[in-house]
Amino acid sequence: MANVAVIGSQWGDEGKGKVVDWLASRADIVVRFQGGHNAGHTLVVGNQTYKLSLVPSGVVRGKTSIIGNGVVVDPWALLGEIESLRKKGVDVAPGMLKVAENCALILPLHGRIDRAREEARGAAKLGTTGRGIGPAYEDKVARRAVRLCDLADRKALEEKLDHLLFHHNALLRGLGAEEVDRAELLAGLVEVAPRILPYADSVWRYLDGERRAGKRILFEGAQGIMLDVDHGTYPYVTSSNTVAGMAAVGSGLGPGAIDYVLGITKAYTTRVGSGPFPSEQDNEIGQILGERGREFGTVTGRKRRCGWFDAVIVRQSARVAGLDGIALTKLDVLDGLAEVKVCVGYTYEGRSYDYLPASMAAQAGVRPVYETFEGWRESTRGARSWADLPATAIKYIRRIEELIGVPVTLLSTSPERDDTILVHDPFAD
């Protein structure tokens, strides 16, 4: 009985929510291991739509859900999400949801700092969501973060706040922004503590026990590999590691706990915010892809940039993250196009590349090299077997497999959870 890690293989927004929800029916436990409430998953179940940011997708399936130590948690956002789910009939009681007691918290000051710095950058802004995820991770690495367990110790909490505000108020003064009021911040944390602490647990210990008992664990990533702080399009990245190795670090289990890595991969490419995007189509094609794919952020509502499938970055993601298979999503968005293209390489300053170089100048300057494929006029939406797919669509899928060197494990053909073609069950490994 394998444990599976699900991660995005592009710049996020690949459709992880639906795939994780579908796989959760085969799992016992679902673990979120990095990121914050800047990334969203949308699940469509019958006539009900669930928009999740922090709570793992498994809660909709009634599975035990874990928020690991690698996640930075805004306690107010988490409680708001729990309440929203309860109103839709989903039980998210302590016991069903466990939050790592050693996870770092996102405080109101982090969002203020995030937005103030973005404003100060002007045209050079990074495109953050402004929700404080980056500053919270900075505090964690700088060893001044307030962690969930600190809410149970008033003395330790006050000492940490003094240290935290000594640093951040100096920064806010430098940015010409209003300083944080210590009493107000402390009062807010004291008020929220008894509401959030019942969810706190030593999740590494819990997961170790469940793994030894033979339970199936599904690790749910946020964002995508090209947003990884080390391996993505730096500095236009998120503040955490999004690769599969983070599933172990961010949950408290060893790397041997991960048996299969599934990369969620959109049949075209999208990106939110600033940063390089070699296959972007800032034209009619991009508009068509955006409208058909309803390409707006789940959390922010921001319009996504759209372009052709980039096999170069997905192949690179496959190597960096050790993908065993991909789940290809949103194939139906390409229905009806006379032709479709795939980026198979780059050129930059007279040189050919089969990977995305690390330097900012090269990433901004590379030009895509395309292969062109005949499109298909038949609809692929709702297909549940290969026999339901047009021959030209199958040819497109097979060429993608060749180019990235990873097989298609799942094919998602609509937002509905059952519109899925299973090629290989990751939990069977």
Residue carrying structure tokens 């108020």: 169
Q: Per residue in 35-64, pLDDT tens?
A: 998 766 677 776 778 788 899 888 888 899
13 is catalytic: yes
pLDDT band at 368 (very low <50, low <70, confident <90, very high): very high
Task: Answer yes or no: are the C-beta atoms of 108 and 96 closer than 8 Å.
Answer: no
- State the DSSP H helix or E strand holding residue 165, giving kind and residue range, or none if neither: helix 154-174
Q: Per residue in 145-184, pLDDT tens?
A: 999 999 999 999 999 999 999 999 998 888 888 899 999 9
| DSSP-assigned letters across all residues of 129-155 | -SSSHHHHHHHHHTT-PPBGGGGG-HH
Q: Which fold has domain 265-428?
A: Adenylosuccinate Synthetase; Chain A, domain 3 (3.90.170)
Q: Per residue in 387-397, pLDDT tens?
A: 999 999 999 99
Q: d(Cα 11, Cα 6) in Å, to the nearest integer? A: 14
Q: Which of 13, 28, 74, 114 is catalytic?
A: 13
Q: Which of 37, 41, 110, 168 is catalytic?
A: 41
- Percent with pLDDT over 70 in the chain: 96
Q: How high is the pLDDT of residue 125?
A: 67
Task: Answer yes or no: are the C-beta atoms of 26 and 242 closer than 8 Å.
Answer: no
The yes-or-no answer to whether 4-100+200-257 and 108-196 have a common fold is no
Q: Where are the domains of the chain?
A: 4-100+200-257, 108-196, 265-428
Please report, for residues 22, 212, 215, 248, 409, the alpha-carbon distance to residue 257 in angstroms, rounded to integers and kept in the order given. 21, 10, 11, 7, 20
Q: d(Cα 33, Cα 4) in Å, to the nearest integer? A: 13
CATH number corresponding to 4-100+200-257: 3.40.440.10
Q: Pairing mode, if any, of strands 351-353 and 325-329?
A: unpaired
Residue 308: both structure tokens together? 């052709």
424 is catalytic: no
**Average pLDDT of the residues in 98-122:** 88
CATH number corresponding to 108-196: 1.10.300.10
pLDDT band at 353 (very low <50, low <70, confident <90, very high): very high
Q: How high is the pLDDT of residue 299?
A: 58
Q: d(Cα 26, Cα 11) in Å, to the nearest integer? A: 27
Q: Per residue in 213-226, pLDDT tens?
A: 999 999 999 899 99
Q: Count Cβ neighbours within 10 Å for each residue of 410-425 and write b for 16 or more, e otherwise.
A: bbbbbbebebbbeeee
Residues near 423 by Cβ (< 8 Å), separated by ≥ 6?
A: 325, 407, 408, 409, 410, 411
